Structure 1
Amino acid sequence: MEHVDDFDKQILKELEKDGRMAFSAIASTLGVSNTMVHQRVNRLTELGILTGIKPVLNEKRLGYDWGAFTGLTLEKDHDSNRIIEALKNIPEITECYYISGSYTLYIKIIARDHEHMRKVLYEQIDSIPGIAKTDSIMELGCAFKRNVTL
């Protein structure tokens, strides 16, 4: 890891427990100054290690009961940037990855129900020029999701 020491790791672990935790509470827990925590968080942000502190939404509780992982085969792989920009305009697509293997891109889609999922797949994704084929696997629930261990 680039320029990350034990204090940085401890600060990141505290923020992972609760991203809203006050810097003064982290400083107290770690036995360091509030200023040091503030400076370290700023540096970790500048280095791109800490990319933001965001809420983790429970999609199911918000009415999105259906999830799918979908592999996208493109007509021409060099169209991927244009296609990714089009995918960003579909709010139900929550993740998009470049992958190796049978597909060029792999996306995660959330939907309220099967009809909503069908509309996202057939009316929105399939209408993007350059997508040759989609292959979806329905998600039945997340066993766990976490950050990498520090």
Structure 2
Amino acid sequence: MDIVDEFDISIIKELEKDGRMAYSAIASNLKISNTMVHQRINRLMEQGILTGIKPVINEKKVGYDWGSFTGITLNKDQDSNRIIEELKKIPEITECYYITGSFTLYIKIIAKDHEHMRKVLYEKIDTIAGIAKTDSIIELGCAFKRNVTL
């Protein structure tokens, strides 16, 4: 099991405020060395605790006004790895989860408008061999989205 101590948590909290923050600024804010910040961030990334430091795009501000949460039923669950590889090729799919219940997979789709959403669903997703059916719920806006509190 990976060990995360109070220094790691403090560094992560600084990065959550601004992922572009210089390591030297983090070190100054936390009153620790720049080298320690650099080593800790590298270790957190190597351990997979931090999976990257990247911008968060507001899809609506760049023209993607439609979102859906779509459950996918497969003909055979053992085809899931192949189907996931096909889903990865569709840029409008931003998230994919294994779930329990009525579906095998649950995905998040973003689209520019209802016609774009229809094309993604019917012309890209439904044409993947092994998908039996999809069931979508249209997203009307995100009330909030956040990381788990450490």
Q: Same fold per TM (> 0.5)?
A: yes
Aligned residues with identical type, % of pairs: 81
Amino acid at match of 2:92: E
Paired with 2:91 and 2:47, the residues of 1 have a C-alpha distance of: 29
Amino acid at match of 1:55: P
Counterpart residue number, 2:32: 32
Counterpart residue number, 1:116: 116
Paired with 2:39 and 2:8, the residues of 1 have a C-alpha distance of: 10
| Count of aligned pairs between the two proteins | 150
Counterpart residue number, 2:10: 10
Amino acid at match of 1:47: Q
**Which SS does the other structure have where 2:14 is aligned?**
helix
Deviation at 1:45, TM superposition (A): 1.0
Paired with 2:110 and 2:101, the residues of 1 have a C-alpha distance of: 24
**Which SS does the other structure have where 1:96 is aligned?**
strand
**Which SS does the other structure have where 2:24 is aligned?**
helix
Cα RMSD, aligned residues only: 0.7
TM-score, length basis structure 2: 0.98
TM-score, length basis structure 1: 0.98
Structure 1: segments with no counterpart, 5+ residues: none
Paired with 1:2 and 1:91, the residues of 2 have a C-alpha distance of: 32
Paired with 1:87 and 1:81, the residues of 2 have a C-alpha distance of: 10
* Superposed structure 1 runs of 4+ greater than 4 Å apart: none
Deviation at 1:70, TM superposition (A): 0.2
Paired with 1:47 and 1:84, the residues of 2 have a C-alpha distance of: 24
Counterpart residue number, 1:43: 43
Paired with 1:75 and 1:69, the residues of 2 have a C-alpha distance of: 20
Q: Deviations over 1:33-83 (max 9, x none)?
A: 111111111111111111100100010010000000000000000000000
Deviation at 1:3, TM superposition (A): 1.4
Paired with 1:47 and 1:87, the residues of 2 have a C-alpha distance of: 27
